[in-house]
Structure 1
Amino acid sequence: MHPQKTPLLKDAALPYTDTSTPVHIDAPLAGFSECHHDFVAQLHSALYLPELVTAAAKARRMADDLLAMFREGLAQHHAEEERELFPAVLGAAQPGPELDEVREMVAQLVREHRDMEARWSALQPAIEAVTRGQVPVLDAAAIEDLVQHFFAHAHFEEEHFLPIAQKVLGRHGEVMASLGRKLHERRAAAA
């Protein structure tokens, strides 16, 4: 027995055929074209990759420098102020209004030191993550807050405390000389 001839497809009724949507002969070509557009867009963004790698490296260096500044520079600076400078000025200030003013300023500066340390402690883990090449969520408002508090602290110290410290210690050359020696010896020992 011979198999039956299958009718031509154009004459056959195909099951599940949606004849309501016309088939575009160029549909496969449009898909290739879309891929090209996607590839071009992605490759175009690759042009920024060297700049972003440079920015990431810069962020790592900046984070490293910030950690070192807080760990070594700022921590040592605050310690020297609290161990050497503040006691020297308090000890040499004239009893009465001058000493009261110096005590008030020293108390404020020490509070600000602790406040900055607390603010830094909250930010430090994210900064350390940046040094490891990670991409943490950085609290921009907290960073700005720390910077503004430090600027205000430094301004107060420069404009108010250091002038009175100069006045007080300027009357006591031996105290000023002793302070200079202690700071020099501590720095020489640390080097």
Structure 2
Amino acid sequence: MMQATDATAIRTPSTDAAPLEGFVGSHVGILKQLRALDELPALMEPAARARRIAADSLALFREGILEHHLDEERELFVAALASAQPGAEKARVQVMVERLTREHRIIEGVWKFLEKDLKRVTKGQDAELDVHEVHALVTAYTSHAAFEESEFLPLCQVILGRNGNHMAALGLSLHMRHTPPIVGHI
């Protein structure tokens, strides 16, 4: 009988597969993560769009809607009430002004609730943006704007249009509110 040499032992097939077991199936997790990575470019644009929408919405409220509400409450509502004819017309304007002012507070309250999460979105941070509150804000403002455009502003046109001075006074008042003060020496 011949003794096996070291070279013969190496060529002898082994039935012990233990060294390969660590490799079998090891690519499953790697491939799963690589497939997720392959989706990443498609997700970047929606994420960037979400940040832009959040930033634009913050600016809209800060520089647009809140100022618009102030203009209406301090100037337009006051002018319409002051120029309305006593009796039914003035009562109608008063009811509308109260409704619009109440709606302003509701819209601003919902906005306050959403604002902190929108700020997080603009920074690309995780945020629990409440879809129902977003929808409530959009719905409330859409309804508010529709009423104002179809009912209140046409009435204001009639009321303030009776006297050119009243319309001019409103225009001047709004202009003064939005003109920065002149700073300097006199």
TM-score band, normalised by shorter chain: 0.7 to 0.9
Question: Shift in Å at residue 176 of structure 1?
Answer: 0.5
- Write out aligned runs for 1:99-138 (5 A): 99-138=90-129
Matches within 5 A, 1:4-153: 29=20, 31-153=22-144
Pick one of 162, 166, 188 that aligns with 2:157: 166
Listed one character per residue, the Cα deviations across residues 119-155 of structure 1 (whole Å, up to 9, x for unaligned) are 1111111111112221111110111011101111011
d(CA) in 1 for partners of 2:153 and 2:170? 14
SS of the equivalent of 1:32 reads: coil
TM-score (norm 1): 0.80
Q: Which of 161, 172, 179 matches 1:188?
A: 179
Distance, in Å, in 2 between the alignment partners of 1:189 and 1:99 is 33
Deviations 1:23-51 (A, max 9, x none): x8667646534222322221121122122
Q: TM-score, normalised by structure 2?
A: 0.82
State the one-letter code of the partner of 2:45: T
Query: Percent of pairs identical after alignment?
Result: 47
Number of equivalences = 167
Any stretches of 5+ residues in structure 1 without a counterpart? Answer: 1-23
CA distance in structure 2 between the partners assigned to 1:98 and 1:67 by the alignment? 37
> What residue identity is the alignment partner of 2:74?
R
Name stretches of at least 5 consecutive residues in structure 2 with no aligned partner.
1-14, 182-186
